[in-house]
Amino acid sequence: AQKVTQAQTEISVVEKEDVTLDCVYETRDTTYYLFWYKQPPSGELVFLIRRNSFDEQNEISGRYSWNFQKSTSSFNFTITASQVVDSAVYFCALRMNTGFQKLVFGTGTRLLVSP
């Protein structure tokens, strides 16, 4: 079975602090895809990143970076110099190579960035 665990339910930081959101996944498949989505207070799901299981290169996009480690089945997300606008719920998700794009989501981490 596939499963995504986000052990941190809520994190509070002060603006400009760095913060890392943890994601641990379980799957028996050798090919799979990992995602991060942001859900701001307005409720929509905003796609942040997709990573496939063969690409363990870390990625940086502005203040966002992702650390994918297959050995520990983790796909952690770091926000550098956090801003108030980063306040949201962040979901990690897993998708198999087969099937019709069914995403398995974690329970989300609520990030609160205060000024």
Q: Give φ, ψ of 101 to 5 degrees.
A: 60, 30
| Closer by beta carbon to other proteins, 19 or else 37 | 37
User: By CB under 8 A, what part of segment 27-46 binds other proteins?
Assistant: 33, 37, 42-45
Q: How many residues bind other proteins (CB under 8 A)?
A: 22
Task: By CB under 8 A, name the one of 47, 56, 60, 84 that touches other proteins.
Answer: 47
| Closer by beta carbon to other proteins, 19 or else 106 | 106
Task: By CB under 8 A, name the one of 25, 90, 106, 113 that touches other proteins.
Answer: 106
Task: By CB under 8 A, name the one of 48, 96, 103, 112 that touches other proteins.
Answer: 103
d(CA 87, CA 69): 26
d(CA 54, CA 14): 35
User: By CB under 8 A, what part of segment 52-81 binds other proteins?
Assistant: 52
Residue 58, C-beta contacts closer than 8 angstroms, at least 6 positions apart: 65, 66, 67, 68
Q: Which residues bind other proteins (CB under 8 A)?
A: 33, 37, 42-45, 47, 50, 52, 91, 93, 97, 99-108
